[in-house]
Amino acid sequence: MVNGLYTASRAMSNILAKQDINAQNLANTNTNGFKLARLVNTSQVTVGRNDEGKLSQREYQQLSEVATSFTQGPMVRTGNNFDLALSNSGFFKIESDDGIRYTRNGTFSMNGYGDLVTLSGKQVLDQDGGPINLKGEQVQFMEDGGIFVDGKKTATLGVVDFPNVKKLQYGADGLFNNPDPDGNPVKPADAISVRQGFLEGSNVDPVSTMVTMMAEYRNYEADQRALKAVDETLAKAVNDVGRV
């Protein structure tokens, strides 16, 4: 019976953690290039006998990982020449304070030095890992990632991919990090498809996310009632049965 207290309380803790992820997804419904995250938990049931030979059962629940869905988001036409979208797999390379990071958000602009940068001022990198300078009158991004300034090719976008994108971690800065460069080495994208004047929207479905949050809330209430019932039963066992 005490195990029931543990199981219910642990389930409630897991639901609260899931709701945090759901809230993050909902808050990023309109964030370009954002990818839906899901919290995965694992359960394990062990059955054995105690010192008196009686059967006992315990259930363990623990949070496993935050899994990211990399399904394609909707393509939104903006008409801005510095807005870029990838219509298939791959990531743009970005130079951050913590090293090279990766993103699907192609909301770029040109800084005062003529370099291609993100909205936060981080440099977008070319295929060789260097900054992209766009000084000129007319800038055109080709589908294969080639960049032409005033009709002359000056650079190629650094569009890369990974053997296992599920290993990437979403950071607080909105960029993805590859924590396992040896086991999940970066590689050039197999098929680059850059669309100028478009942005990839978030792949979060707000209606589905709201439904999930409501279902998780009901599960939380059910676990709360179960926890209260077990607690009341234990209280009677200690206070009432003991008198008899």
8-state DSSP, 129 = S
pLDDT for the residue numbered 32: 93
Q: Of 14, 10, 26, whose CA–CA distance to 212 is shortest?
A: 26
| Higher local confidence (pLDDT), 123 or 40 | 123
Q: What is the mean pLDDT of residues 36-65?
A: 69
Say how far apart CA 187 and CA 84 lie, in whole Å.
20
**Domain definitions of the chain by residue range:** 2-70+207-243, 75-200
Contact 47, 56 (CB under 8 A): yes
HEC-encoded secondary structure of the chain: CHHHHHHHHHHHHHHHHHHHHHHHHHHCCCCCCCCCEEEEEEEEEEEEECCCCCEEEEEEEEEEEEEECCCCCCEEECCCCCEEEECCCCEEEEEECCEEEEECCCEEEECCCCEEEECCCCEEEECCCCECECCCCCEEECCCCEEEECCEEEEEECEEECCCHHHCEECCCCCEECCCCCCCCCEECCCCCEEECEEECCCCCHHHHHHHHHHHHHHHHHHHHHHHHHHHHHHHHHHCHHHC
What was the pLDDT predicted at 5?
A: 66
What tokens appear for 58 in the block?
């315990």
The pTM score is 0.79
pLDDT in the model for residue 8? 73
Q: Which pair of tokens denotes residue 135? A: 């000084």
Exposed, middle or buried by CB within 10 Å (0-12, 13-18, 19+), for 89? middle
Query: Contact at 8 Å (CB) between 174 and 105?
Result: yes
Mean pLDDT of 142-148: 95
Torsion of CA 224, 229, 231, 233, to 10 degrees: -170
* Average pLDDT over every residue of 188-214: 93
CA distance 224 to 71: 35
Whether 230 contacts 15, CB under 8 Å: no
Query: Residue 59: what pLDDT?
Result: 63
pLDDT of residue 48: 67
100 vs 172, which has greater pLDDT?
100
**Between 233 and 71, whose confidence is greater?**
71
pLDDT at 161: 96
